[in-house]
Amino acid sequence: MAYDEYLADRSRQVLKQKSVYFEEKKMMGGLCFMVDDKMCFGLLSDKSTGDGKLMCRVGPHNYEKALSRPHCSKMNFTGRTMNGFVFVDAEGFDTDTDMAYWIQLCLDYNPQATRSKKKKK
């Protein structure tokens, strides 16, 4: 799994400061932080640069607002854009304030997000 452990520690710290119960799950080529059994945000490494990247689930209402911020782009894994999800390059969450902003944006959307259906074993 390709993600920066330092960024994972920073993310854990922000969530703990906000008293948010979360779980971690390795998926999508990185590490996802789950809140209420829903993917809230994730970490992965940029394949071309190796820099850390945030994958934020901001929802459709905050999507354009998020995209207007520096170092933010549409999330595209397979050649298809995923509405409500954005990538944030490392420069966009370099400071603790910026990191907390992005995580809070994801947490704000989390209550409206839907859970993915569990696969039957």
Q: Above 90 in pLDDT, residue 28?
A: no
Which amino acid is it at 72?
A: C
Number of structural domains (the chain) is 1
Q: Is 24 part of a structural domain of the chain?
A: yes
Q: Is 28 part of a structural domain of the chain?
A: yes
Q: Is 118 part of a structural domain of the chain?
A: no
pTM for this predicted structure: 0.90
What's residue 121's pLDDT? Answer: 61
Q: Above 90 in pLDDT, residue 4?
A: no
**Encoded tokens for 55:** 């994958």
- For residue 87, which of 116, 36, 49, 52 has the smallest C-alpha distance? 52
**Encoded tokens for 26:** 């390795």
The domain of 37 spans: 5-111
Between residues 114 and 119, the one the model is more confident about = 114
What's residue 16's pLDDT? Answer: 97
**Encoded tokens for 115:** 């859970």
Q: Above 50 in pLDDT, residue 23?
A: yes
- The 10s digit of each residue's pLDDT in 34-72 is 999 999 999 998 878 888 899 999 999 999 999 999 999
Q: Are 102 and 92 in contact (CB under 8 A)?
A: yes
- The 10s digit of each residue's pLDDT in 71-107 is 999 998 777 888 899 999 999 999 999 999 999 999 9
* Measured distance CA(18)–CA(100) in Å, rounded: 9
Query: Which CATH number belongs to the domain containing residue 38 in this structure?
Result: 3.90.1150.30
**Encoded tokens for 33:** 């932080």
pLDDT, average across residues 18-28: 92
* Measured distance CA(103)–CA(36) in Å, rounded: 15
- For residue 54, which of 85, 82, 97 has the smallest C-alpha distance? 85
Q: Above 70 in pLDDT, residue 1?
A: no
Which amino acid is it at 27?
A: M
Q: Is 93 part of a structural domain of the chain?
A: yes
